Structure 1
């Protein structure tokens, strides 16, 4: 599998590796499937994570490697969560998180980011430990929220993208940078779609309550 570290093509003076290209294309596909609440999103995310591990290893970004390991593990968990939701409700149930859930998600993300950054810094595991740790932890938070069916998972991805784009370009992974930019647009569209979905579900529940 060494060919994954080879350059696939060059464009505008930037060299694009196979692992960076293939892994991120799979990631885009997984995001689009998640937008449509397709359970196939999870195995595609898992495959994307497997490919991108080699890309971040070559860029000396421990957080990026950790992020993809999180993607792999969480993809398995997310698959089981969505399967259970389909059995119980006939569809993937989505909702806004409660204020308590939001507070726990934000606080947990902040604490884990600091802890991971200090580990990266102490052991020299990344050339940009704080940004790398932020992306690692933000990805974990986003995928937990997605598995729970929270609309806020799209907002978590926006927060990750804002740091991920410049870090990817500065780490010699331009395709990741470009894909993060595309992610940003898809995330905004996905946020709108899930938001409207919750409004439709609330309206349906209200009407059922009135007619009951």
Structure 2
């Protein structure tokens, strides 16, 4: 059995239920991405993209062999959008590093402006309103919760790329909805990881908030702010 075959087909028993190894591995990559993002390291993006590919196959139970056999189209779809937004985030953070001569963190955290916050609220409302009927028509399991998880996740990922402190709060709101949905669907590793993400988001929010109070410029490009990063 090749390593790829093992990754795609192997299962383990968790609390008496079969769980895909690729769901566990995909979530580990997601957690690693969040930790790297907390430290504002560019590697957060490519690491997260690997997790996106793996989790995409997990949440399409009808297309890929999964023990749950549930189709969470919002969860699967957000992996595709995550991948696309991550390309933007990777490019933006790389540009920030190059502009600083490689001596600064990849992004300078700041609070979103009033206009940016209003835009986020409008996008959230429109996104859920559009995604809900689409996901329901596709037969997604838990379409309303799935619609918010999809929309909120995209907002949070974009906010991370822009360096907005608020993106951590959006993630917490996504986790609060995602944990009960995933538990009901039997996606136990993902539900457990959402709980860990929630705790990590509280930590990340506090860390980025403290950094934003140092007095960094609002626009991260061409910043001279330096920080020792591992």
**What TM-score, normalized to structure 1?**
0.90
Aligned to 1:176: 190
Give unmatched runs, 5+ long, in structure 2: 62-69, 218-230
How many Å separate the matches in 2 of 1:19 and 1:34?
A: 22
How far the C-alpha of 1:173 sits from its partner, in A, is: 0.9
CA offsets per residue over residues 83-105 of structure 1, 9 Å max, x none?
Answer: 12223344322100011101101
The answer to whether the 8 A contact 2:108-2:216 is kept is: no
Give unmatched runs, 5+ long, in structure 1: 204-212
> Tell me, what secondary structure is at the counterpart of 1:57?
coil
> Tell me, what secondary structure is at the counterpart of 2:214?
helix
How many Å separate the matches in 2 of 1:128 and 1:2?
A: 30
Aligned to 2:18: 15
1:87 counterpart = 2:98: yes
Alignment of 1:26-175 (within 5 A): 26-58=29-61, 59-89=70-100, 90-91=104-105, 92-124=107-139, 126-175=140-189
CA offsets per residue over residues 129-151 of structure 1, 9 Å max, x none?
Answer: 11111101111000010000000
1:24 counterpart = 2:23: no
The answer to whether the 8 A contact 1:49-1:69 is kept is: yes
**What TM-score, normalized to structure 2?**
0.83
CA offsets per residue over residues 180-203 of structure 1, 9 Å max, x none?
Answer: 000011110000000000112359
How far the C-alpha of 1:122 sits from its partner, in A, is: 2.4
> Tell me, what secondary structure is at the counterpart of 1:15?
strand
Q: Which moved more, 1:88-97 or 1:169-178?
A: 88-97
The answer to whether the 8 A contact 1:49-1:68 is kept is: yes
Aligned to 2:227: none
How many Å separate the matches in 2 of 1:190 and 1:119?
A: 33
How far the C-alpha of 1:7 sits from its partner, in A, is: 5.0
CA offsets per residue over residues 158-194 of structure 1, 9 Å max, x none?
Answer: 0100011111111221000000000011110000000
CA offsets per residue over residues 12-45 of structure 1, 9 Å max, x none?
Answer: 2233211210100000000000000010000001
How many Å separate the matches in 1 of 2:134 and 2:12?
A: 35
The answer to whether the 8 A contact 1:5-1:55 is kept is: no
How far the C-alpha of 1:123 sits from its partner, in A, is: 3.2
